[in-house]
Amino acid sequence: MKTTNPQQRLLALISIPAFLFLVIPTAIVVPVALNDSRYITFPPEGISFAAVAGFFADRAWTSALTASLQSAAIAVVIGVLLGATAAIGLHGRKFPGQPAVVGLILAPMIVPTVVLALAFYQFFISIGMVGSIVPIGLAHAVIATPYVYLTTRASLAGLNPALVRSAQSLGAGPLAVLRHVYLPIILPGLISGALFAFSVSIDETVMSLFMQSPGATTLPVKMFTDIQFNLTPKIAVSSALLVSVATIGLLLQVMFVLKRRSSTRMLPLAVSAQT
């Protein structure tokens, strides 16, 4: 579509502010973190790694980083195991109650995070499970699992069920079928889902805020608490770290988008925005 009539140019012109609006906030984060100033300013006055060094010298921030990585690890491991087994278990099968099962699997995406945060807060207090990162990781796993299920299901769409039957008729046991038929096909979906799960957990703020304790304060919670008083260079470094992670995730995701069309299909489904 290489037409350059006036209307096309007008569209391109009015779209520039819209694209700048999308890009500028994310683009300034890293320069702000490397700013050579005690104050938060943009454009930066000079390049300095002082704030980065300050961040990694501050126990409060490094333990927040550790807590975030721990919760993400729990969310990714549980999310991948449960999401993948569910997608394989439901592949090519119809049974009474199946819509209800799929509905239950996807439901955590639809419930507002603040509602889940309150529910988990009450629930984990009532069973006496407080003061560690584990309940936060489990809560993140609940909202991360549907993403893995969806990406795995999308990669299974290309699998002919006849392959499974051929493998079985040739004597493959259930584990051999999983290993040699399903695994190679779902692998891209699994990786994509694991990226989603990691990203959901590392950015999640509301549930982590409700369930925080001195030993279990994640990076976004620490940022949220500090940002209400002042914009500090350490918040800037933390933001830059998270943006770097997001950029890597995005680049990997774009690689999948180029290869597969199904992974973009599911994006609008992702109602569970981190608000």
Partner 1 sequence: MSNATLERPRPRGRSAPGSAEAAPRRRRSGWWLLLAPILAFDVVLFLTPLGKLVGASFADNAYQRVLEDPLVVRALVNTLTISLASTIVTVVLGYIIAMVLWRAGTVTRVILFAVVLLPFWTGILVKNFAWAVLLQDNGIVNAFLQGIGLTGAPIPLLHNRFAVIVGMVHCLLPYAVFPIFSSLTSIDDRLGLAARSLGAREGSVFRRITLPLSMPGISAAGLLVFIISTGFFITPVVMGGPGDMMIANQIDYYARQLTDFSGAAALAVILTVMVSILVAVYQRVLKAGGQHEDN
Q: Which of residues 49-108 bind partner 1 (CB under 8 A)?
A: 78, 81-83, 85-86, 88-90, 92-95, 101, 104-105, 107-108
Residue entry with tokens 């529910």 = 119
Single residue of 64, 80, 133, 142 touching partner 1 by CB under 8 A: 142
CA–CA separation, 254 vs 22, rounded Å? 17
Q: From the CB of 25, what's the least distance to partner 1, in Å?
A: 4
The pair of structure tokens assigned to 66 is 């550790």
The pair of structure tokens assigned to 84 is 């993948």
**Residues 7-26: x where in contact with partner 1 by CB under 8 A, - otherwise, as a string:** xx--xx-xx--xx-xxxxxx
Q: From the CB of 10, what's the least distance to partner 1, in Å?
A: 9
47: left (phi over 0), alpha (psi -120 to 50) or beta: beta
For partner 1, the closer CB: 25 or 184: 25
**150 is a site residue for partner 1 (CB under 8 A):** no
Residue entry with tokens 């949220």 = 224
Q: From the CB of 57, what's the least distance to partner 1, in Å?
A: 21
- Taking the CA atoms of residue 24, residue 28, residue 30 and residue 31 in that order, the dihedral angle to the nearest 10 degrees is 140
Site for partner 1 in 156-185 (CB under 8 A): 157-162, 164-165, 168, 174
- Is-contact 66 128, C-beta < 8 A? no
Select the span of 55-63, 69-77, 151-159, 186-194 touching partner 1 (CB under 8 A): 151-159
Residue entry with tokens 């700013």 = 35
